[in-house]
Chain A
Amino acid sequence: MLAQALVLMAAAAVEYNRDIRPILSDKCFACHGPDSGNRQAGLRLDLESTAKAELRRKFPVVAGDPDRSEVIRRIESDNKALRMPPAYAGHEKLTAADGAMLRRWIEEGARWQKHWSLIEPRRPQPPAVKDASRVRNPVDAFLFARLDREGLKPSPEASRATLIRRLSLDLTGLPPTPAEVDEFVQDRADDAYEKVVDRLLASPRYAERMAIRWLEAARYADTNGYQTDGVRDMWRWRDWVIEAFDRNMPFDRFTMEQLAGDLLPKPALSQKIATGFHRNHRTTAEGGIIDEEFRVEYVADRVETTAAVWLGLTLNCARCHDHKYDPLPQKDFYRFFSFFNNVPEKGFVYNFGNEPPFVKAPTAEQQKKWDDLDARYQAARNEWSASAPARQLQQREWERSLTAKPDQDWAPREGLIVDRKLEDVRFDGKRAIDLGTDVAKFNHRDPLTLAVWVKHDGKNGAILTRAEDYWEGSGYGLYLVDGKLRFHFTMRWTDLGMRVETAQPLAPGQWHHVAVTYDGGMKAAGTHLYIDGREAAMKVLFDQHLWPVDHKAPLRIGAGSGLGFEGEIDNVRIYKRALTPDEIAALPLKQSLTGIANLAERTQAQQAKLDLAFVDTFAPDAAMRKAKAGLDAYVATLPTVMVMQEGPVRDAFILKRGAYDAPGEKVTAGTPGELSPFKPEWPVNRLGLAKWLVDRTHPLTARVTVNRYWQMLFGTGIVKTVEDFGSQGEWPMHPELLDWLAVEFMENGWNVKGILKTMVMSSAYRQASKPTAELMQRDPENRLLARGPRLRLSHEMVRDQALAASGLLVERQGGPSVKPYQPPGLWNELAGGKDYQADKGEGLYRRTLYTYWRRTIAPPSMVNFDSPTRETCFVREGRTNTPLQALNLMNDVTYLEAARKMAERMLREGGDSQAARLRYGFRLLLAREPSAGEASILARTTDEFRQTYAADRAAAVKYLAQGDAPRDETLDAAELAAYAGAASLILNLDEAITKE
């Protein structure tokens, strides 16, 4: 409201985009706008052509003649039945001022304009300013010219101490050290300020500071969200973001790699990792969900996020119907949707790690080790190949020797955990052999082989199981159903497990050797059934084997899942690995090794058995196997990251009312028609989409991006609604400045550090933040920027600053997420299961952007300070001021420990007198000296605390026992406790959590 009042003060002629569209959009478009589905009375006011055309013998808008304009008549009508907007339209009413404005606009000719943000930005000429002495760059020219018009003056420059703290927090997210402050304060060079700016922009801390806002926009987290909220690993993507900011990757490239890195020619691993951006959305593993419903939800999330982050448009409003305010028909949503619709993914995801598609994403260091191990393995393999002739000779000799010796046999031994001969045991459907609960406890990621001889009587039966006693009982087992061999591996029969069976039945009344192998890959495709040594054609009955099984039933021969077995079973073999087809083929062979050696002609299976036995007996491949095992074991530890991939094209449709199961017209991929054109030379896929977004003619990407940076520095965007540049968004406070910055950004090669430097080099940024009483009245939100920004620190800075000032901060870039302090029980009380376990050591003191983020139970101290929850894309920076924040800063162990460590620094580094020490503590956080008044309050408080703790040393010791960091035992406990109390006080000052 106030911002609008300010606009009016400066307004001369009525301008449609600034003065009229906001009224029409907010009050009229819902029924008389772009949404054809809900258009009332056939009236469309968002287009000039229809608004001025005759409609039922009336004219909605008659240029120059408000009294003949039906719009005005209806707005001004005394008749409730005729008056617009109607009473039932809800929310806010059209004000008299709005009505007067519309009347004036029609009087002045009722001129329409295309919506400002959809017009390609051009670089405006910086205006002349009355007092040019304060203008350092065009940013100032635009802002100060506006102040001239308002009859205001910019504020004086802030003190050096204030400036360096402001800059350090803004550009690195951490406060300056006292030494850095001193250096700047004493530097009399003309470019002293610029040197600080350059130093901060070059710091690796800059990248971490920039990354966190991007992570929030990208809804980055360490868990899947939704009900079961399983874990995922996306930190390699997070580190990619940090590295990109560190290298000052141009924003157009930053965009292309994240949206379409996989579609670039010969993409590097880093470019694939970058595409993790659009795998950061929430995913669900809730039992019973409908796969397609959620797959569609994921794609829609990508549309919504892309639109919010790059376009600043609420494209998601067109998901169920045409957009009610912006020229975005529903079809545009689904054409956009189509770009993201071809990922080979499922709606129901894995709950215990990354869901395909994902890639191994080693760090540079890990890649080196991987290459080393691989080279070692390749060398061993070459050696193995080279030794083949010699080995063959050896084997032939061995085979000859076999014929001369007593009969010898062999079967695969490696990984064998059960080998049971039954010898003529007959099963009658009731009796079974129980092998106990300690054996063969396989789980969903464990490879296995079950192999056994059976002779069945034609009835359904359980051959070999570890499964509870009801049909499809929890566990695994090999069965005969209608004569067919079946394998089940079940967590929950309803929806979690795998069921496969052979295409052909097994003849009853005769012995067959049957086997199943499973590779631990959670897919039926990794499962094979064998009959009599040969792989059998297999039918997949159910394939959602994603969850560990809590084995309750024992291993049983001849029973399980509520079935018994009728017939005979023999030679039960269980392996904790998936045998190869050759190994399986060797099992049912009747001939012993000696027998085969004596044959002149051997079948392939027979020869394979000899080969396998030879290698097994003499282990000539030991070196190669060891190298392979080492390689495999290492590769298994490497981090992965979920990425985008183009699978087969899925048809996309307009979904009626947005419902996944109500497809309408089929659509192809494309960008909204009202925005800049999609050039024919671009591929119609995500890569083309990315190129379109960063094309010089694109009206939105650059504006939206610089606006977010502006918000980051000045607290509020030039367009306050940073996520909505549409009709319902706020008119830009400084439209020419926004365009100038956008064009500057693009023409300077999308240089992020460059545009930030331009902003912070301005005089406007350097102003003192102290408001005058007049300014507080005229512009309480500081939209005109006649003073510097004064804002509460963002959530991560509140914590990072405390860690930095106390010396606890551990600075290390990247790596898996860490778990700092959190009150116990939070996870358990909401979700049951394992509670949060805070790290020991370093993990407690890393920068907050590395904090482990569980979406459904976000870190409470971050949420207290207005962090987004990371469930969906969020780009607006919120700042509230609540008593929970007060409790958090006073009593959370994070800040108590930081206060204690700050106190130790005050005592050790602050000088000899109490005054000096308190001054030092003040400077650690606020970068300035305390005033006399402040110093005396601090001193008094410290004295009082000292008295309390001297009288009760036990209390002092308790108070100092907060947190894991050891206390400096050389310091007197009462003394240290008094200073710790003082340090906590400083940490809790309004100024401490405020960027001045």
Chain B
Amino acid sequence: MITRRLFFSRTATGLGIPAIATLLNGKGGLAGLPHFAPKAKRIIYLFQSGGPSQMELFDYKPKLVEYQNTDLPESVRGGQRLTGMSATQSSFPVVPSKFQFARHGQSAAWVSELLPHTAKIADRLTFVKSMHTEAINHDPAVTFFMTGFQIAGRPSMGSWLAYGLGAETEDLPAFVVMISPGQGGTGQPLYDRLWGSGFLPSRYQGVKFRSIGDPVLYLSNPNGFSPANRRQYLDSLKAMNQLKADELGDPEIGTRIAQYEMAFRMQTSVPELTDLARESPATFELYGPDSKKPGTFAYNCLLARRLAERGVRFIQLFHRDWDHHGKLPEGLPKRCKETDQPAAALIQDLKQRGMLDDTLVIWGGEFGRTVYCQGRLTADDYGRDHHPRCFTVWMAGGGVKPGVSIGETDDYGYNVVRDPVHVHDLQATILHLAGIDHTRLTYKYMGRYFRLTDVHGKLVKDAIA
């Protein structure tokens, strides 16, 4: 990182305004990083907020048909604490998936009929079926996934990456966030802290790209103030700030001047980014009909590719409304329909552009769902509560081994029986693929060297190519 002192010496020798390290999220990143050659230069995280059901999507459990409507044995539940929502339930009847599974591709991966597009690219994916977490409710669980800790206050994964690695671009932020609601549903709320910088300087926070109003807050010039006006304005502002800089020699003023220039560049680069006019019909077809509708998951996936092309380091998508406590057979297919094609399209699109090899894509939620029914179990309706002990995520691209499935759960799909992967393990692996030793990316705050993985995390070696 260029220190203020270095900066000063450069300006003092009359070089004027240098490429400043601390622009938005810092182009430069920390000295000594990456720790080793990264396999993924950028990361796209397709977070499915609410807890998608592993049992209906990836973790095929044929025996559940036999167990149907029997009470989940206490020996399987093993004292697992229950949420306040099913703690009052008097029985825990097992309910099998209503949806059919089939094997796909050379890897013969089990994928549900709800995800036909994902099924087609199964050979490109690495499934982790043995994910487990500690939290049993959304707020702590999502916060845990994004920050490595259940309680608010720590930096998000993207902030750590921006802090450590900086950006590959000077025109866009290093860390961008996009949100899509489940259509027609409401879904669990999200919170700024999920992309916040915690105790890291606030410039490392994720910048939200929005589907209504300005894509980036305050981006557009006001009505009646033309780009030409803005250029004049910025020239004058720069000249006046420069007078002050010359008088005082405080490098902070030089940084300020550069930030206004970057703001100006963003006024061009962001609209250019969100202008899909030059995307081909084939691309829209690939991502599906929603991809022209701002604010949908499909649109965000397409934007994610465009951001990746432009060197954004960490692209975080959130899709909401996977929390199927009840009416799962009605709600889950809708979420799948919204996300299946675009997610698969993103992988294919990155592949065809030669970017998949150095772009890591991750798909998954904050926990899984229970094998037992929550609420009324009827012939065609059921729900599932939150389940921390096992769930599935998949990864693709930058440095992961395609076409493999890691870990295994028991016949009930309740406990991991082989190769458990903890949230901190996944985080450690993501950092590793980005060229970072997770134990060495630290920040001293309140006397302690904090890191994304707290004091835990071991690499999921089987996932790494």
Q: Mark A649-667, 1 if CB is under 8 A from B, else 0.
A: 0000000000001000000
Flag the segment in B57-65, B219-227, B329-337, B352-360 that touches A. Answer: B219-227
Q: What separation, in Å, do the CA atoms of A229 and B190 have in the docked complex?
A: 10
A959 and B222 form a contact (CB under 8 A) = yes
A825 and B226 form a contact (CB under 8 A) = no
Is A329 an interface position by the 8 A CB rule?
no
B259 and A961 form a contact (CB under 8 A) = no
B218 and A832 form a contact (CB under 8 A) = no
B342 proximity list for chain A (CB < 8 A):
none
Q: What separation, in Å, do the CA atoms of A994 and B220 have in the docked complex?
A: 25
A855 proximity list for chain B (CB < 8 A):
191
Is B406 an interface position by the 8 A CB rule?
no
B211 proximity list for chain A (CB < 8 A):
829
B188 proximity list for chain A (CB < 8 A):
227
Chain A contributes a number of interface residues (CB within 8 A of B) equal to 113
Shortest distance from the beta carbon of A82 to any chain B beta carbon, whole Å:
21
Shortest distance from the beta carbon of A863 to any chain B beta carbon, whole Å:
7
B241 proximity list for chain A (CB < 8 A):
989-990
Is A265 an interface position by the 8 A CB rule?
no
B446 and A2 form a contact (CB under 8 A) = no
A780 and B8 form a contact (CB under 8 A) = yes
Chain B contributes a number of interface residues (CB within 8 A of A) equal to 98
Q: Mark A906-944, 1 if CB is under 8 A from B, else 0.
A: 000000000000000000000000010110011011001
CB-based nearest B residue for A933: B243
Given A724-B447, A773-B249, A959-B225, A985 and B81 contact (CB-CB distance below 8 Å) = no
B449 and A90 form a contact (CB under 8 A) = yes
Flag the segment in B40-48, B98-106, B198-206 that touches A. Answer: B198-206
Q: Mark A12-45, 1 if CB is under 8 A from B, else 0.
A: 0000000000000000000000000000000000
A882 and B203 form a contact (CB under 8 A) = yes
Q: What separation, in Å, do the CA atoms of A769 and B250 have in the docked complex?
A: 10
Is A103 an interface position by the 8 A CB rule?
no
A896 proximity list for chain B (CB < 8 A):
222
A226 and B139 form a contact (CB under 8 A) = yes
A937 CB contact (under 8 Å) in B187, B191, B239, B245: B239
Is B263 an interface position by the 8 A CB rule?
yes
Q: What separation, in Å, do the CA atoms of A8 and B414 have in the docked complex?
A: 60
A495 and B84 form a contact (CB under 8 A) = yes
Is A860 an interface position by the 8 A CB rule?
yes
Is A776 an interface position by the 8 A CB rule?
yes
Q: What separation, in Å, do the CA atoms of A398 and B89 have in the docked complex?
A: 58
A990 CB contact (under 8 Å) in B81, B253, B376: B253
Q: Mark A809-831, 1 if CB is under 8 A from B, else 0.
A: 00000000000000111000111
Is A403 an interface position by the 8 A CB rule?
no
B229 CB contact (under 8 Å) in A227, A832, A948: A948
Shortest distance from the beta carbon of B462 to any chain A beta carbon, whole Å:
23
Given A287-B84, A863-B192, A933-B243, A494 and B325 contact (CB-CB distance below 8 Å) = yes
Is A890 an interface position by the 8 A CB rule?
yes
Is A960 an interface position by the 8 A CB rule?
yes
Given A863-B202, A891-B218, A891-B222, A824 and B447 contact (CB-CB distance below 8 Å) = no
Given A228-B189, A495-B88, A881-B22, A288 and B136 contact (CB-CB distance below 8 Å) = yes
Is A348 an interface position by the 8 A CB rule?
yes
Q: Mark A870-906, 1 if CB is under 8 A from B, else 0.
A: 0110000010111111111011110010000000000
A887 and B138 form a contact (CB under 8 A) = no
A881 and B259 form a contact (CB under 8 A) = yes
Shortest distance from the beta carbon of B446 to any chain A beta carbon, whole Å:
5
Q: What separation, in Å, do the CA atoms of A896 and B141 have in the docked complex?
A: 41
CB neighbors of B among A464-489 (8 A): 470-471
Given A286-B139, A881-B22, A945-B229, A886 and B186 contact (CB-CB distance below 8 Å) = no
CB neighbors of B among A961-989 (8 A): 961-962, 977, 981, 984-985, 988-989
Flag the segment in A248-256, A674-682, A755-763, A950-958 that touches B. Answer: A950-958
Shortest distance from the beta carbon of A581 to any chain B beta carbon, whole Å:
31
A388 proximity list for chain B (CB < 8 A):
none
Is A727 an interface position by the 8 A CB rule?
yes
B153 CB contact (under 8 Å) in A871, A957, A984: A871
Residue of B203, B249, B262 with most chain A CB atoms under a 10 A cut-off: B203
CB neighbors of B among A229-266 (8 A): 229
Is A410 an interface position by the 8 A CB rule?
no
Q: Mark A284-324, 1 if CB is under 8 A from B, else 0.
A: 10111111000001000000000010000010010000001
Flag the segment in B230-238, B282-290, B303-311 that touches A. Answer: B230-238
B439 and A90 form a contact (CB under 8 A) = yes
Q: What separation, in Å, do the CA atoms of A957 and B84 have in the docked complex?
A: 57
Residue of B225, B247, B262, B449 with most chain A CB atoms under a 10 A cut-off: B225
Q: What separation, in Å, do the CA atoms of A580 and B128 have in the docked complex?
A: 62
Given A494-B86, A883-B260, A857 and B191 contact (CB-CB distance below 8 Å) = yes
A825 CB contact (under 8 Å) in B9, B12, B136, B213: B213
CB-based nearest B residue for A284: B139
Given A869-B193, A989-B237, A885 and B259 contact (CB-CB distance below 8 Å) = yes
Given A291-B84, A314-B448, A990-B241, A977 and B8 contact (CB-CB distance below 8 Å) = no
Residue of A857, A888, A941 with most chain B CB atoms under a 10 A cut-off: A941
Is B351 an interface position by the 8 A CB rule?
no
Given A823-B217, A880-B201, A882-B203, A729 and B192 contact (CB-CB distance below 8 Å) = no
A2 proximity list for chain B (CB < 8 A):
5
Q: What separation, in Å, do the CA atoms of A888 and B220 have in the docked complex?
A: 10
Q: What separation, in Å, do the CA atoms of A934 and B137 have in the docked complex?
A: 57
Is B374 an interface position by the 8 A CB rule?
yes
B212 and A825 form a contact (CB under 8 A) = yes
Q: What separation, in Å, do the CA atoms of A777 and B13 have in the docked complex?
A: 13
B447 CB contact (under 8 Å) in A726, A958, A985: A726
B232 proximity list for chain A (CB < 8 A):
941, 944-945
CB neighbors of A among B381-396 (8 A): 385-386
A470 and B191 form a contact (CB under 8 A) = no
A891 proximity list for chain B (CB < 8 A):
218-222
Is A770 an interface position by the 8 A CB rule?
yes
Is B1 an interface position by the 8 A CB rule?
no
Q: What separation, in Å, do the CA atoms of A883 and B259 have in the docked complex?
A: 4
Is A369 an interface position by the 8 A CB rule?
no
B446 CB contact (under 8 Å) in A317, A773, A931, A990: A317
B24 and A884 form a contact (CB under 8 A) = yes
B19 proximity list for chain A (CB < 8 A):
none
A937 and B218 form a contact (CB under 8 A) = no
B259 and A289 form a contact (CB under 8 A) = no
B252 proximity list for chain A (CB < 8 A):
790, 792, 881, 990, 994
Given A288-B83, A883-B23, A494 and B448 contact (CB-CB distance below 8 Å) = no
Q: What separation, in Å, do the CA atoms of A492 and B221 have in the docked complex?
A: 47
A830 and B136 form a contact (CB under 8 A) = no
CB neighbors of B among A771-805 (8 A): 771-773, 776-777, 780, 790, 792
Is B85 an interface position by the 8 A CB rule?
yes
A227 CB contact (under 8 Å) in B139, B230, B266, B444: B139
Contacts A/B (CB < 8 Å), 29 sampled: A90-B449, A225-B152, A227-B137, A287-B83, A288-B385, A492-B85, A495-B85, A495-B88, A728-B448, A792-B252, A830-B190, A830-B192, A831-B189, A832-B187, A856-B192, A863-B202, A869-B193, A880-B22, A882-B202, A882-B203, A883-B259, A886-B256, A886-B259, A896-B222, A937-B236, A945-B232, A957-B224, A985-B237, A990-B257
Known: A494-B374, A790-B248, A937-B240. 4 other contacts (CB 8 A): A288-B136, A880-B203, A886-B256, A886-B262
3 smallest beta-carbon distances between A and B, as pairs: A728-B447, A959-B224, A958-B224
- Using a CB–CB cutoff of 8 Å, the interface residues on chain A facing chain B are 2, 88, 90-91, 225-229, 282, 284, 286-291, 297, 308, 314, 317, 324-326, 348, 470-471, 492-495, 542, 661, 721, 723-724, 726-729, 769-773, 776-777, 780, 790, 792, 823-825, 829-833, 855-858, 860-861, 863-864, 866, 869, 871-872, 878, 880-888, 890-893, 896, 931, 933-934, 937-938, 940-941, 944-945, 948, 954-962, 977, 981, 984-985, 988-991, 994
